Amino acid sequence: MGGFLGEKEMLSRERVKEILRNKEYSFLEEKVSLLGIEGDEIILKISFLLEYRKRMISIEEKERIIVSFGDFKVEDWGDGVRKIADVE
């Protein structure tokens, strides 16, 4: 029985995916951490923090993510706001 405030929702992984997909959260922080560079690969960790109905939910990568540096676009913006050139 839920009482007058209603029944407290039990979250599952599927429900959290649905909350993200439907943008049912009131706050979202996205964080990408650079753990290092090994050869031509960048090692990353991704995490999210969201608030859903006054509950904070943390979503964090279990394993590190390895991405080839060649998959990134690199630009030289110099000391201003205009792009100077692509970096090869």
| pLDDT of 4 over the 80 cut | no
| pLDDT of 81 over the 80 cut | no
Higher pLDDT, 52 or 6: 52
Higher pLDDT, 33 or 83: 33
Q: Looking at this protein, which amino acid is placed at residue 9?
A: E
> pTM value?
0.72
Count other Cβ atoms within 10 Å, centred on residue 12: 9
Both tokens assigned to 11: 């979250």
Per-residue model confidence as pLDDT tens digits over 24-77: 999 999 999 999 999 999 999 999 999 999 999 999 999 999 999 999 999 888
Check residue 6 and give its pLDDT.
61
Cβ contacts of 26 within 8 Å, gap of 6 or more: 51, 52
Domain boundaries, the chain: 13-86
For residue 77, how far is the Cα from the chain centroid? 25
